[in-house]
Homo-oligomer: A and B are copies of this chain.
Amino acid sequence: MIKVGIIGATGYAGGELVRLLLGHKDAKICWYGSRSYVDEKYSSVYRNFFQIVDAKCLDDNMEALAKEADVIFTATPQGFCASMVNEGILSNAKVIDLSADFRIKDVAVYEEWYKIQHKSPEFLPEAVYGLCELNREAIKGARLIANPGCYPTCSILSIYPAVKEGLIDPDTIIIDAKSGTSGAGRGAKLPNLFCEVNENIKAYGVASHRHTPEIEEQLGLAAGRPLCLSFTPHLVPMNRGILVTAYASLKKEVSWEAVHEVYERYYEKEQFVRVLGKGECPETKWVEGSNYVDVGLQIDPRTGRLIMMGAMDNLVKGAAGQAVQNMNLLFGLPENEGLMQAPMFP
């Protein structure tokens, strides 16, 4: 039985980790870490766990936790994990960081987009970008996993095969993404109030969202050279779900079947990526509560563009589910353990 500690267990991603781990055969949570709710019962913070979780919240002492746990999830604000992690912790426990601290290899890029100083760049080289479908083997041997961002997970999985196979011109990629509001976190801020979000849609972080360089780095690796793309997130009045609609110019005329065949080849052995059929568009509702990413493809022959669409639950495959998938790889378990729930509809 793997002993699991969660730092930041009282955010939405932390709560989702708890939900998923409760259904995991080989893991047991030993530490519900929190900054704001220390000594309160975890089930008074998330009352869905009433009579299911009996533990109280502990603090966010990663050093102490590393001595008790086999693996630590940090579902914490940017900068926290980088400021805490050290050799002692990493030699005691695996660390799966759900923040952005170890996702970007170039520390200058990280500091420019996140506007904070990176406190432990010495661990960047060994950190593995935990997008299981791309980095499965590297993940298995890692000590420190950079769990991908929600938008990047959905964007990269939707676009990667087209870039890697040279179907599209990497300089023409435009990603228009839409997210449910749980992505904004559980902080009590005016723009996230029900009446401000409900019956409303808006773009935000236009040309400046911090997930941009993460997507660029990963797709650049696929392209074999750096690339620069447009990324625009939108806030949608729903709790969960990310939809990515990505556009790029095809390098040459190609049939839908040929593009589909490429995607099938990349993902046919992947349980959690489902490539949809001709004419089908992914919908966030069809993956809600599950670790699936649905990918749909459409060619626009009039403009010579490929439209790549991806749908995903931002809290599962976009955060906690992928983190559990990484944990399973780290500990040699079946990759889908604890993640086999079918999506919930409606």
Q: Which residues of A contact B (CB under 8 A)?
A: 12, 15, 18-19, 22-23, 46-52, 174, 176, 178, 180-182, 186, 188-190, 192-204, 206-207, 228-230, 232, 234, 236-241, 243, 245, 247, 274, 276, 280-290, 294, 298-303, 305, 307, 309, 311, 340-346
Contacts and interface: CB of A to CB of B under 8 A. Distances in A.
User: Which of A19, A303, A343 counts the most B-chain CB atoms under 10 A from its CB?
Assistant: A303
12 contacts: A19-B344, A47-B280, A188-B188, A192-B193, A194-B194, A198-B238, A199-B288, A203-B245, A207-B303, A229-B303, A237-B237, A289-B289
A192 B346 CA distance: 13
Contacts of A247: 174, 176, 230, 247
Listed from nearest, the 8 A-B pairs whose CB atoms lie closest are A200-B285, A207-B300, A195-B346, A48-B343, A202-B283, A176-B176, A194-B197, A206-B298
Contacts of A194: 181, 192-194, 196-198, 237, 239
B239 A234 contact: no
Contacts of A195: 12, 181-182, 186, 192, 239, 346
Given A182-B346, A194-B194, A199-B288, A245 B232 contact: yes
